[in-house]
Structure 1
Amino acid sequence: MIALMIHGAEHREAVLATLRSIAGLSSYTPERFTVVVLGDAPADPAALPLEVAYAASVDGFDLGTAADGAYVELIPAGLEYSPDAFDVFFADAAAGSLARCYIHREGAYAYRLNRTVGREDRGPVTLDDADRLWAGSTPALVPLDVFRACSSDARTGGDPNLLFAEAILATGGFSVLGGKVTSPQQHEDALYGEQRLFTPDWYLGFLTRWVALLERVAAQPAGAPPYLQRVFLYLAQLRLQYNVDRHNKNALDEAQLAEFAELLARGLAAVSDEEIIGAVRKPLGYRRSMVAYLLKAKHRAAFSPRAEIDADGRDVVVTVNGHEVERLSEVRLAIDVMDSTRDELIVSGLVQSLYLTDRLALTARVGGTDLPLPDSGVYSEFSVFGELQRRQPTFTARIPRSLLAAADRIEFVATFTEKTAAHASTGVPLRLNFRRPSAKLSDVPGSYWIACGRLLRAQPSGIAVGPAGALQRLKAELRLQRRLLGGERVERSAALLRLVYFATRPWYRFKRDWIYYDRIILAGDNAEYAYDYAAAQRDGIRKNYVLAADSAPATRFREQGKPFLPHKTLTHRLRFLNAELVFATHLKPATRNAFSWNEQFFRDLFGYRVVYINHGLVLDDLSYSLNKHAENQSRMCVVSHFETETLSDPSYGFARDEIIETGFARYDGLESRPTRDLLLAPTWRYYLNRPQDADRLQGHNEEFTESDYFKVYNGVINNPRLHRGLEEHGYTLTYLLHPNTSSHVDDYRSSSDRVRILAPQNSPGYERMLSESDLMITDYSGVQFDFAYMTKPVLYYHHPSIPPHYRRGAFSYEEHGFGEVATDEETLVDTLLDYLAQECRMPEAYRARVDAFFTHRDRDNSKRIYEAGHALLRERSG
């Protein structure tokens, strides 16, 4: 009665796993199930109590031999059923109430969209029920006649979403089977989709197939049903969302991007504007910026938002083709930074309007005074596939302490600058969104902050300002405590830690704490060297270097008798809350210092200033992550005037005196001790690997070995001419993976015993490796500058198939780099062999570039960083 057709027979073990689960079905009998393995390399299930047929393809098996009323399910190799997966089907069959289409629930990760079909849903779900959506991630069990009527694209198994869509169009809906299925494949809307290798077919093939379906259905009098429109929107949005801002996967070239845009417009033509605009609501729940992008992608040149003051003159309404898409009264103002000095309150953020960005004037209304807030030019871009779609206006409000003292409220008012004959320009107080730890306040009810002698409280469309006496502070804390204690476990634990903070604050008040951290599980970067110098200074300040207690560097610290602050301990949290300075090589100090899930409950207590000592140089355009709004960095410590030039761009938002050319602390430990070893050390790619979390390495990307990145560097370490050159000249080569790709260390293999492959956590440490290497090969990695600092040669390998994930800045590798640039493997090997023949000596031309690049070439970098911290505190205290 059921034909289970398994595709992917080349994966023998996966096929066997599926066959074993079929044999374990509580409803399995040979009379009920026909099992077919599709492909040219069938697996032999001789050891299983199962009858299996084989066919080269779906069309190669005669489904006509199946009994009348047979159902068909196409499944991928490796999918496993729970024993009761088909019990509902046979119960319905016995009752004579079989549905025309069934779907299985997922046993592991579920599509986010699929959660709209709740556990109690047995069906049927019809095409009129457009809020109980299923993406088609699990196999669909359909009657034989329905399966035969589906397109060949749907019946190959390559696009299960398409088969599901065509099936429900034919059947009118589906019912839910009992039990569950577990697939070995990563769902395409997996939360951490960056770990997937995206191919052109995932974009273009998907759209080609779905456009054919949508255009066929749209040609019918009723058009495409809303159910199908929403499923398509969801699947299309995935292809876009994984390429937003710096997440561009670089999977499509220019011609393919043009084809994608054309196909997307054709697909969206079958989707109503109402459905696109309504996608901000659940079950889709899109960001408003994505909705705006989809509307523009659909209408292209005809896209023309219209903004007008409404009839009563109190609001501004934006419409697209007569459909309302935005109201000024609903626009949010995101606050990223709140800070204070002796003389003023500083508030920075951006206006989150999608359609009015160039037609608004922003002011801060403090009491009865309006302060104009022009666009500050800080980075606030939204891009898709690397193409800028829009930027939102940013601002910095400086509110004098004297003005704040007389005010009871701060509002941010947006005024529509276009007047009409009927109405003058209208000003609307914007709703507030406190979106970063540096915002001090949060959207948590009851959040407050003391600044400039006033108590500030977050409200939906403003900031309440009041007295900050002891009684008012106590009342504010009690209100917040009641809110937290009445919440979930995370909120209750936050309430307890706040109480511990206030109880211990009198003792900490007489202590001074500075926090230093690199990667919590790796260490050995600028923060450790800066910490070593600062800890030796007798200034009454307690220096704390944060490490995961079970990490290899922690063992090293213990052996050296060097103290460290164990990560995620109560002591760590309390010292961080009381710290006056944080010296960071990576941003997001709160997240990296044990406040990852609950930082919004402690923002008012974060009193630290950030001295950013980086782990790489700021030469390329990193304004998307290192701008002033990211963490309100008080100082940016750099090594070169090139960095100063880059960071002085308005998109970063720094004042000139906030950028200090101190040099990197880790340079103090560099001493060249060449051992006839070459170092290959490329950086990572955001479109292949996620950044490392604070206290753990990232997982393995199963598709990594199919990427150009892997193939390019695996080719280098297996180049026969390179191997012969190493042997002839007596050198070895170490391939040191970047920490964000270190989980792939076992994917690489070299046929030469003169090549070794290391992950950072298994290496003797950066300082030793850099000191003992004779020559470095890299692409864009910041460790090139450590190497050049010792006046040792650097070669650059800029293969066109693996572009960087950031935009180029003021530094040109051709004009300012410290060695030759190769764009293909053979040129790289040719240049490298020339260096080996010359005993890896750096040419004079590149020595001159080194001298011109670094502001300091001494061993006082850590000292300058230490002094910069003290100077910052003196400045703040007056």
Structure 2
Amino acid sequence: MLSNNYSQIDKSLYASIINNEIQAKYSLYSERASLTGDNAYEAFKYALKSDDSCFYITSKEVVDREKDEHIKKHLAILGSAQHKELFLNAKSLFCSFGFPGIIFPGLKDIHISALKYKLYLMWHGVSAGDKDSYEIASYNGNRNDGIFACSTYEERNFKLLGHDTIYLGGYPRMDKWCNDAPLDVNAAVIFFTWRRSLYGATLAEFLSSDYVTTIVELVKAIAKSRPKLELYYFIHNSIPAQHVECLAAILRAHSSNIRFVNNNDTSTFNHIFNTSQYLITDYSSVGYDFAYYKKRAPIFFMPQKFIKGHYVPTSLFEKIIPGPKCLDIKSVIKSLRPEQYKNHKSSTKAFFRFMDSENCKRAFDVTHPESESAS
């Protein structure tokens, strides 16, 4: 008998779940908020080509801006009646950020435990054990039916974290970087991750932080030493809008060649990321995406005062990164050379299990064995 901690509505829904004789039939995918560029979304688009039972759980903003009618019909708004119906009849869930982006809000533990879906994790970023970000990889309490990995380093790390079903087939999101689009030697992406120490920071605290001070000094130095270099500053979606506006105004005052790109603008983001010769990041996993397949090397800008307040790199970090680690701005400027990738070809090749455009297919074959056997 259920306790009085559950309402009558909760109990009725629980009863309907356990008495439901209709076979679960939907495959649901999700990332976070308005994002449509990570593993789950790419896997969703690929699966939808041959499986109409696929749906992507997202925001109204994403649904409204989608132009492809077939895809649009398979987008469901988080928290909607459609989402509830899909979730209660889901046979499989594919998450890039864990439960928050895919679970129907308001469901209780009794409902979740009664459902019979399979949960597959396609993590955002890279979880190789190169940073103390283990909490990301152990999210969901290890309750899953499979976790995808792109590297043997990740495979080992996931095993240490208690995952026992690991598919080393590559990340679906990386298929879109596997092409021969010409690289613009006068284009550089600047993309730094956020800092946990700045969550909740006031605007004044943000602007006076080492994080902002270091970024401003970097942009000033690049503008002076490489005036023809076009800079594309990719905005991390965790930074409050007011903070972004002020930072953008400051950086524009020091560089006439800087543009700001929101990663919610997927098409612009992908095009610039796909065609820029350079990337300057910190310890973000975005560096691995940048190095995938193409002849270019990300620059890891990591002065101590700049990287403090978030993840702490482990000894493995320097062994596996596919680009130079720079501790000062002068080193960054020196590393802005097209041939820099040649110094890191071996580490890049050793890191990735695959470097092709078949990651979506391999993920689909794992989760849809009936389709593979039919072909």
TM-score (norm 1): 0.38
Residue 446 (1) aligns with residue 10 (2): no
Tell whether the 8 Å contact from 1:621 to 1:646 is kept in structure 2 after alignment.
no
Tell whether the 8 Å contact from 2:175 to 2:357 is kept in structure 1 after alignment.
yes
1:24-39 matches, within 5 Å, as none
Aligned residue identity for 1:689: Y
Tell whether the 8 Å contact from 1:616 to 1:783 is kept in structure 2 after alignment.
yes
What is the alpha-carbon distance in structure 2 between the residues aligned to residue 714 and residue 858 of structure 1? 37
Residue 858 (1) aligns with residue 356 (2): yes
Residue 679 (structure 1) aligns with: 189
Offset of residue 558 of structure 1: 3.6
| Cα RMSD, aligned residues only | 2.9
* Structure 1 range deviating more: 848-857 or 759-768: 759-768
Residue 63 (structure 1) aligns with: none
What is the alpha-carbon distance in structure 2 between the residues aligned to residue 495 and residue 638 of structure 1? 38
Query: Out of 287, 294, 302, which is 1:798 matched to?
Result: 302
Offset of residue 561 of structure 1: 4.0
Aligned residue identity for 2:176: G
Offset of residue 845 of structure 1: 2.6
Distance 1:625 1:857, change over 3 A: closer
What SS is found at the alignment partner of 1:718?
A: helix
TM-superposition CA deviations, 1:96-141 (whole Å, max 9, x none) = xxxxxxxxxxxxxxxxxxxxxxxxxxxxxxxxxxxxxxxxxxxxxx
TM-superposition CA deviations, 1:540-562 (whole Å, max 9, x none) = x611111112x1x3234244541
Tell whether the 8 Å contact from 2:195 to 2:309 is kept in structure 1 after alignment.
yes
What SS is found at the alignment partner of 1:654?
A: coil
1:464-863 matches, within 5 Å, as 483-485=6-8, 492=9, 494-495=10-11, 497-498=13-14, 505-506=20-21, 509-510=22-23, 512-538=25-51, 542-549=53-60, 551=61, 553-559=62-68, 561-563=70-72, 564-587=75-98, 589=99, 591-619=100-128, 620-627=131-138, 630-649=141-160, 652-655=161-164, 658-670=165-177, 671=179, 672-675=181-184, 676-689=186-199, 703-719=205-221, 722-727=222-227, 730-741=228-239, 743=241, 744-748=243-247, 749-750=250-251, 751-762=254-265, 764-789=267-292, 790-801=294-305, 802-803=307-308, 805-809=310-314, 811-813=316-318, 815-832=319-336, 835=337, 840-863=338-361
What SS is found at the alignment partner of 2:43?
A: helix
What is the alpha-carbon distance in structure 2 between the residues aligned to residue 577 and residue 677 of structure 1? 47
What SS is found at the alignment partner of 2:57?
A: strand
TM-superposition CA deviations, 1:190-233 (whole Å, max 9, x none) = xxxxxxxxxxxxxxxxxxxxxxxxxxxxxxxxxxxxxxxxxxxx
Offset of residue 765 of structure 1: 4.3
Tell whether the 8 Å contact from 1:667 to 1:859 is kept in structure 2 after alignment.
yes
What SS is found at the alignment partner of 1:610?
A: strand
What is the alpha-carbon distance in structure 1 between the residues aligned to residue 66 and residue 238 of structure 2? 23
Note the residue ranges of structure 2 that are not aligned, 5 or more in a row: none
Tell whether the 8 Å contact from 1:680 to 1:778 is kept in structure 2 after alignment.
yes
What is the alpha-carbon distance in structure 1 between the residues aligned to residue 239 and residue 90 of structure 2? 33
Offset of residue 852 of structure 1: 1.5
What is the alpha-carbon distance in structure 1 between the residues aligned to residue 189 and residue 240 of structure 2? 16
What SS is found at the alignment partner of 2:207?
A: helix
TM-superposition CA deviations, 1:796-848 (whole Å, max 9, x none) = 101101326234346322x332222111223323433xx1xxxx233423122
Tell whether the 8 Å contact from 2:29 to 2:102 is kept in structure 1 after alignment.
no
Offset of residue 446 of structure 1: 1.0
Aligned residue identity for 2:94: F
The structure with the greater share of residues assigned to helix is 2
What is the alpha-carbon distance in structure 2 between the residues aligned to residue 623 and residue 712 of structure 1? 27
What is the alpha-carbon distance in structure 2 between the residues aligned to residue 873 and residue 805 of structure 1? 42
Q: How many pairs does the alignment contain?
A: 358
Tell whether the 8 Å contact from 2:171 to 2:359 is kept in structure 1 after alignment.
yes
TM-superposition CA deviations, 1:145-192 (whole Å, max 9, x none) = xxxxxxxxxxxxxxxxxxxxxxxxxxxxxxxxxxxxxxxxxxxxxxxx
Aligned residue identity for 1:821: K
Aligned residue identity for 2:310: H
Tell whether the 8 Å contact from 1:770 to 1:786 is kept in structure 2 after alignment.
no
Tell whether the 8 Å contact from 1:638 to 1:662 is kept in structure 2 after alignment.
yes
TM-superposition CA deviations, 1:482-532 (whole Å, max 9, x none) = x513xxxxxx4x4565577579x45xx245111111123121211111011
Tell whether the 8 Å contact from 1:515 to 1:543 is kept in structure 2 after alignment.
yes
What is the alpha-carbon distance in structure 1 between the residues aligned to residue 110 and residue 48 of structure 2? 31
Distance 1:738 1:601, change over 3 A: same
Distance 1:752 1:804, change over 3 A: same
Distance 1:804 1:662, change over 3 A: farther
Tell whether the 8 Å contact from 1:511 to 1:542 is kept in structure 2 after alignment.
no
The structure with the greater share of residues assigned to strand is 1
Offset of residue 700 of structure 1: 6.9
What is the alpha-carbon distance in structure 2 between the residues aligned to residue 762 and residue 753 of structure 1? 22
Aligned residue identity for 2:34: I
Offset of residue 604 of structure 1: 3.0
What is the alpha-carbon distance in structure 2 between the residues aligned to residue 635 and residue 817 of structure 1? 26
Offset of residue 775 of structure 1: 0.7
What is the alpha-carbon distance in structure 2 between the residues aligned to residue 592 and residue 794 of structure 1? 30
What SS is found at the alignment partner of 1:633?
A: coil
What is the alpha-carbon distance in structure 2 between the residues aligned to residue 767 and residue 777 of structure 1? 16
Offset of residue 726 of structure 1: 3.2
Aligned residue identity for 1:704: F
What is the alpha-carbon distance in structure 2 between the residues aligned to residue 770 and residue 714 of structure 1? 21
What SS is found at the alignment partner of 1:714?
A: helix
What is the alpha-carbon distance in structure 1 between the residues aligned to residue 158 and residue 314 of structure 2? 10
Aligned residue identity for 2:45: D
Distance 1:843 1:568, change over 3 A: closer
Tell whether the 8 Å contact from 2:175 to 2:359 is kept in structure 1 after alignment.
yes
Tell whether the 8 Å contact from 2:83 to 2:104 is kept in structure 1 after alignment.
no
What is the alpha-carbon distance in structure 2 between the residues aligned to residue 572 and residue 702 of structure 1? 40
Distance 1:688 1:872, change over 3 A: farther
TM-score (norm 2): 0.85
Note the residue ranges of structure 1 that are not aligned, 5 or more in a row: 1-444, 448-478, 486-491, 691-698
Offset of residue 582 of structure 1: 0.8
TM-superposition CA deviations, 1:370-425 (whole Å, max 9, x none) = xxxxxxxxxxxxxxxxxxxxxxxxxxxxxxxxxxxxxxxxxxxxxxxxxxxxxxxx
**Relative contact order, higher structure (CA 8 A, sep 6+):** 2
TM-superposition CA deviations, 1:317-348 (whole Å, max 9, x none) = xxxxxxxxxxxxxxxxxxxxxxxxxxxxxxxx
Offset of residue 638 of structure 1: 0.9
TM-superposition CA deviations, 1:641-695 (whole Å, max 9, x none) = 111122222xx1122xx122111101111234423310011111112127xxxxx
Offset of residue 592 of structure 1: 2.2
Distance 1:664 1:629, change over 3 A: closer
Tell whether the 8 Å contact from 2:29 to 2:57 is kept in structure 1 after alignment.
yes
Tell whether the 8 Å contact from 2:76 to 2:83 is kept in structure 1 after alignment.
yes
Q: What is the percent sequence identity of the aligned residues?
A: 20
Aligned residue identity for 1:716: L
Distance 1:759 1:501, change over 3 A: same
What is the alpha-carbon distance in structure 1 between the residues aligned to residue 313 and residue 135 of structure 2? 13
What is the alpha-carbon distance in structure 2 between the residues aligned to residue 774 and residue 827 of structure 1? 17
What is the alpha-carbon distance in structure 2 between the residues aligned to residue 870 and residue 759 of structure 1? 34
What is the alpha-carbon distance in structure 1 between the residues aligned to residue 71 and residue 314 of structure 2? 39
Offset of residue 621 of structure 1: 3.3
1:128-139 matches, within 5 Å, as none
What SS is found at the alignment partner of 1:586?
A: coil
Tell whether the 8 Å contact from 1:742 to 1:760 is kept in structure 2 after alignment.
no
What is the alpha-carbon distance in structure 2 between the residues aligned to residue 627 and residue 872 of structure 1? 29
Tell whether the 8 Å contact from 1:745 to 1:758 is kept in structure 2 after alignment.
no
What is the alpha-carbon distance in structure 1 between the residues aligned to residue 267 and residue 58 of structure 2? 18
Offset of residue 872 of structure 1: 11
